[in-house]
Structure 1
Amino acid sequence: MSTDLEDDLSRVLARAAEGAPQAPTGFPGRIAARSRRRRTRTQALVAAVAMVIVGVTVRGIDGAQVAQTKLPEPVETVWPGAVWKISRQLPGLPDFRPAIFIDDRTLLLGTSKSDERTDAIYAYDLGTGRTRKIADIPSAKWEYASYYTVGAGRIVWQTIDKNEHTRFWSVPVSGGKPAAIDTGGPVKGRGEKLTVVGDRVAFSLIEGGVFTFPLRGGRVTPVAGAERHHVVRWPWVGTPSDDRQDREPGFRELLNAETGQASRAVVRPGERYVRCGVTTCVGMRPDDTRFYRLRDGSRERDLPGSSVLGLGDDRFLAADPPGASGGQVLLDLATGKQGDLGLRPSGEGRMTGVEPQILHGGLVSYPIENQYVIIDLARIR
């Protein structure tokens, strides 16, 4: 991962130029992302959306565009090496949720108690379908585990109690008994995204502020200049949070926590619901049309009017396809590809969908009937 913003921008542009379709058979597309709600309980896997579309035109970052007139191919056909379907009823695991990728072929699953507290975590081999228990998850009443991450051979997570204090835990990937990480007492505030950085753990609070501490235990240290920030993609941290419900641009300000480099995204007068990542932004113009562009304001392109204004991994969006069948598609704005997620409205017209979030790259997971669809964004080129 680059720690230089200009390098990140160059990489996005180069990737777009290499992958842009010469004579596309469908409009750019591909969506991304499991939405984790920032709550003090376990991670949510999907967000509900309700949209209607008549027709859309989407452009890749290189400017290629094609009008969408029918549903695209299923995501598993478009990206066969990045999509799996697993049963929602695995042997011995009657109620589980996918959480993160442990590695490129292993999924971390969490099982829950009746009150939705995670009680155990398992490793699921996507190649063989075998499941292995990693650990039972300790927690007190009204204490919820969330935001799992992997690094240095360990799985790390947090628990938040009813007093909004956060504690951190870890266990070897191979399995064992979880151990509380001694940080000199619980952290006051609600923790959010965790990242293992070498021998340290970086995290931010929902209330704002970025901190690090030794993976093996030790003092929690605030990151200088990041008192209001949130971890976006380490070492980049940003403010304000993209979870805000008002019209303030999400992650307009970025700070490199390692070098001190800063970036301020271009936001033009009258623009609303602007959400930015490390290299790109999406939002709505004063005339209600939607856009996708680089943080410096260049390479601006139109988005479908039905797209969900969230941005996954700096390039993925969700949108409703045209036609009476409804549903949702995953849009890859960098390469101009798209895939049908297979989601459809119920007989009552209700539909569960996915919403991409800049904070949650990597795993896309959502249920369809008796299966979970699993997408690994890192495998999509």
Structure 2
Amino acid sequence: MSTDLEDDLSRVLGHAAEGAPQAPTGFPGQIAARSRRRRTRTQALVAAVAVVIVAGGVGVTARGVDGPRPAQAKLPDSVEKVWPGAVWKIPRRLPGLPDFRPVIFIDDRTVLLWTSKSDERADAVYAYDLGTGRTRKIADIPSEKREHASFYAAGAGRIVWQTVDQNERTRFWSVPVSGGKPAAIDTGGPVKGRAEQLVVAGDRVAFSLVGGGVFTFPLRGGRVTPVAGAERHHILRWPWLATPSEYTQNREPSFQELLNAETGQESKAVVRPGESYVRCGVTTCVGMRPDRTRFYRLRDGSSERDLPMSSVLGLGDDRFIAVDPPRAAGGQVLLDLATGKQGDLGLRQVAEGRMTGVEPGILDGGLVSYPLRNQYVIIDLARIR
């Protein structure tokens, strides 16, 4: 990756959060606090294969393909063959449903789908059963002009989201998973500032602000309460909070300081002098050394391994990156850094030397989805063992 491209990436990341609450779906930045199990994984780190990472985002983006490739190499098996219990393909067009995007998992077998109005404001949300293929409308999404809905979360039998107006005032909404008419959650008035993450945590809703600070309020309505010691923090994966934010202006480490909102436990990830683009999850970090090589290691600095020379530093569910193997004909694979397993994502080079790509993100809540021809591929990273 050239220095110019790295600088471009830094600028993109630095500005990406500015418009996040207006994004119709989230996709980076949306966390669903799912009641299903969160396994404790051993960090059996493996040396990464010599591969080239694809720039992108959760969802789909395009990037250039530089020059001719050498002889083609065989790609690994498809993601659905490598991880059959964690991958689904659903039609991109469903009966009676306009264009949609998958947003979050409601539970182990149900995905929340989002549709939009012509002005890109949210229109409605639906439940899609991955087992039966049935779609059910949950609710229409109310919003005023220049007010945008985003950051959906599921828990306690409800779907929760926020709307942010042009004055950066945030309101919160709720509807039963079974369906019904959405109701604004009474928090004593709009919250000043833009919420960036939402989590349903038991009988409360937790959220963090773009500028930092984590708060909670009762799911059924009530006073907004700040989380002690989290004035600068952001929700990473509840109950874990972290600071600085995912997007830093001067390449400072992202999510270096960690705080458990329930126990008060604190820790700080090891960052060595001269390292840049360091981004940390709950258990691991990725980043760039002073010699511009990339690394993947535990937060305490141990078990460090090399990453591909041209990696874009995304990290899904603390262990997944998307990579472009050498000599593969525009193909992209999902690489599990904990086990070394790889699965072909099915993406290929398109016209004019460009291809689409995905990047599992630290804040994607375990859901990776992308369009592939006439289908959506949906991957649940939490199901991969």
Give yes or no for TM over 0.5. yes
Identify the residue that residue 362 of structure 1 maps to in structure 2. 366
Q: Matches of 2:248 and 2:357 in 1, distance apart?
A: 20
Match of 1:159 among 163, 172, 197: 163
Identify the residue that residue 73 of structure 1 maps to in structure 2. 77
Q: Matches of 1:184 and 1:115 in 2, distance apart?
A: 30
Contact 2:254/2:279 (<8 A) preserved: yes
Contact 1:28/1:338 (<8 A) preserved: no
Q: Matches of 1:122 and 1:231 in 2, distance apart?
A: 26
Q: Matches of 1:330 and 1:53 in 2, distance apart?
A: 23
Distance 1:51 1:16, change over 3 A: farther
SS, match of residue 77 in structure 1: helix
Matched, 1:170 2:184: no
Q: Matches of 1:151 and 1:51 in 2, distance apart?
A: 42
Structure 1 position 27, deviation (Å): 4.9
Matched, 1:303 2:307: yes
Q: Matches of 2:269 and 2:178 in 1, distance apart?
A: 42
Q: Matches of 2:208 and 2:87 in 1, distance apart?
A: 30
Structure 1 position 234, deviation (Å): 0.9
Identify the residue that residue 292 of structure 1 maps to in structure 2. 296
Structure 1 position 369, deviation (Å): 2.0
Counterpart residue identity of residue 209, structure 1: G
Structure 1 position 244, deviation (Å): 2.3
Q: Matches of 1:46 and 1:313 in 2, distance apart?
A: 18
Counterpart residue identity of residue 101, structure 1: F
Identify the residue that residue 141 of structure 1 maps to in structure 2. 145
Structure 1 position 99, deviation (Å): 0.6
Q: Matches of 2:67 and 2:381 in 1, distance apart?
A: 26
SS, match of residue 348 in structure 1: helix
Identify the residue that residue 249 of structure 1 maps to in structure 2. 253
Identify the residue that residue 97 of structure 2 maps to in structure 1. 93
Distance 1:307 1:71, change over 3 A: farther
Structure 1 position 310, deviation (Å): 1.1
Counterpart residue identity of residue 338, structure 1: Q
Structure 1 position 282, deviation (Å): 0.3
Deviation larger for 77-86 or 212-221:
77-86
Deviation per residue, 1:314-359 (Å, 9 max, x gap): 1111222211512321111111111111112211122221122211
TM-score w.r.t. the length of structure 1 is 0.85
Identify the residue that residue 106 of structure 2 maps to in structure 1. 102
Contact 1:135/1:176 (<8 A) preserved: yes
Q: CA RMSD in A?
A: 2.7
Q: Matches of 1:147 and 1:48 in 2, distance apart?
A: 24
Deviation per residue, 1:227-276 (Å, 9 max, x gap): 11100011110111112243110001111112221111111111110000
Identify the residue that residue 8 of structure 2 maps to in structure 1. none
Contact 1:191/1:206 (<8 A) preserved: yes
Structure 1 position 50, deviation (Å): 4.7
Q: Matches of 2:82 and 2:66 in 1, distance apart?
A: 24
Contact 1:306/1:320 (<8 A) preserved: no
Deviation larger for 237-246 or 196-205:
237-246
Q: Matches of 1:81 and 1:51 in 2, distance apart?
A: 32
Contact 1:328/1:353 (<8 A) preserved: yes
SS, match of residue 360 in structure 2: coil
Contact 1:273/1:309 (<8 A) preserved: yes
Structure 1 position 377, deviation (Å): 1.1
Contact 2:151/2:197 (<8 A) preserved: yes
Identify the residue that residue 317 of structure 1 maps to in structure 2. 321
Q: How does 1:341-360 map to 2 (within 5 A)?
A: 341-360=345-364
Q: Matches of 1:251 and 1:201 in 2, distance apart?
A: 21
- In structure 2, list runs of 5 or more residues that go unmatched: 1-37
Identify the residue that residue 199 of structure 1 maps to in structure 2. 203
Percent of residue pairs identical: 77
Match of 1:46 among 60, 63, 66: 60
Matched, 1:237 2:265: no
- In structure 1, list runs of 5 or more residues that go unmatched: 1-7, 37-44, 56-67
Deviation larger for 349-358 or 367-376:
349-358
Contact 1:307/1:320 (<8 A) preserved: no
